[in-house]
Chain A
Amino acid sequence: MIINHPLLGPCDAQEFTYLGDASLLHRPDGMAEGAADAFVDYSYPRENPAGLHRELWFHEQGDRSWLVVTRDTVTHEITQVELASDVARREGRSR
């Protein structure tokens, strides 16, 4: 697979390591009410769709950026690649 890095252009997926579902960007607040349940929900269950999947890839052998890749899990086709920091900010995180 080739991942079209937003800054570096096309890169071999072998340069990356895979973390998983992009929902992992939204780590719960450990100090909030019900944090234990929120962490169980954050850590274990997954949507695991057959089709479009937003997922986190780390450019370990490259610029060490985190990317959010939208990929079809049935065909392996990649349709969108964004910097995870851009996605996190857009979704309400401060950084």
Chain B
Amino acid sequence: MRYSGFRILQQALTGHKGWTPAWRNPDPQPHYDYVIVGGGGHGLATAYYLARQFRQSRIAVLEKGWIGGGNVGRNTTIIRSNYLLDGNEPFYEFSLRLWEGLEQDFNYNAMVSQRGILNLFHSDAQRDAYIRRGNAMRLHGADAELLDRDQVRRAYPFLDFDNARFPIKGGLAQRRGGTVRHDAVAWGYARGADQRGVDIIQNCAVTGLRIENGRCTGVDTTRGVIGAGKVGVAVAGNSSRVMAMAGLRLPIESHVLQAFVSEGLKPVLPGVITFGAGHFYCSQSDKGGLVFGGDLDGYNSYAQRGNLPVIEDVAEGGMALFPGLGRVRLLRAWGGVMDMSMDGSPIIDRTPVEGLYLNGGWCYGGFKATPASGWCFAHLLATDQPHPTATAYRLDRFARGLMIDEKGVGAQPNLH
């Protein structure tokens, strides 16, 4: 069923009795050409673009839980392409362009809202760094604009501009950045993939990878053995656990990142803001809740919850930037498990096992990358060649000294 304004009108006049499920619930077939492990945003986008863009068929997505129940439903919904390094910026800009046409492309309202993102700076040195970053973005065709203090004040008059330690001196704005309804991204890709014949198999955990003579020929699952021509693993957060089934050790640690939503408020925050002196970022959802987050808890964790010291740290950062937050009550807090890679950048590559491909290491930047990640992974699966914007995301870059370390902190995943 194609969604449109006309369809809503027609359904409204007939008592909304004609809506059908957005995707089928098929039983697994014994063999597929492509098996995507992980039905999160990246896995579903991969299946969608494999079917739509690369005209492949006989594709399955295996999800251990339900669609939209993993990290795609646990992030802070921000999209942007404000990266510095050559290995990253073209990829994230490609992703932002895909976001811009996504809703028409998959015929689903993902509430893509280009309300702009503003990274604040608080010192002369930080201003220089942001000018450099903005120039790098513009060289790759992205938009970037340096705002002075008065321009920031006009948009966000309630921030603490004269904070004694961290006065706001301006910001780097990307007006095409913004937010997206994250569940709708998963649902839209799932529906789009399903319409193109992809089998989305929920409640189907992969328990083993079948490897014969150095080639991956299928997967063992809780719903039986499924043969595969190629297996693509897109399970960020748990990449190490799945790839361990193939005997591989990844340059990844799993860490927990917390996020928070306040009670619903009237519109107060027009765009996304990030604090440059601490780690705090915030946007306001269409329901009115302030959605915000900060640093990792900082130790290896597969628990989807964090501890109180980070909540305190995030709240302190928020108060330093935005003192009006003081009376706002917290509604919810949760944690998601991140693949923290050794250089803070992702991996989209073949593995030493033939027929087994990896998409992971997204750190806490995976959501914004969803469309390009899916497209580039589909490109790799379909053609065995990396997409031109993802050539730097190789698994062997650590051994070859070609790390993509935006933050410059080295092989210390909890600091990226």
Contacts and interface: CB of A to CB of B under 8 A. Distances in A.
Interface in A54-73: 55, 71, 73
B253 A40 contact: no
A43 to B, nearest CB: 5
A34 interface: no
B299 interface: yes
A77 to B, nearest CB: 10
A7 interface: no
Contacts of B241: 48, 50
A14 B311 CA distance: 13
Contacts of A44: 251, 342, 398-399, 411
A37 B399 CA distance: 8
Secondary structure class of chain B's binding surface, majority of residues: mixed
Secondary structure class of chain A's binding surface, majority of residues: mixed
Interface stretch (B24-32, B82-90, B274-282, B300-308): B300-308
Given A20-B413, A55-B300, A46 B399 contact: no
B250 A76 contact: no
Nearest to B240: A48
A45 B250 contact: yes
Contacts of A13: 299, 307, 309
B414 interface: yes
A76 B303 contact: yes
Contacts of B414: 18, 20
A80 to B, nearest CB: 15
Interface of A: 1, 13-14, 18-21, 37, 40, 43-50, 53, 55, 71, 73-76
12 contacts: A1-B307, A20-B412, A20-B414, A43-B411, A46-B251, A47-B249, A48-B240, A48-B249, A48-B250, A53-B300, A55-B300, A76-B307
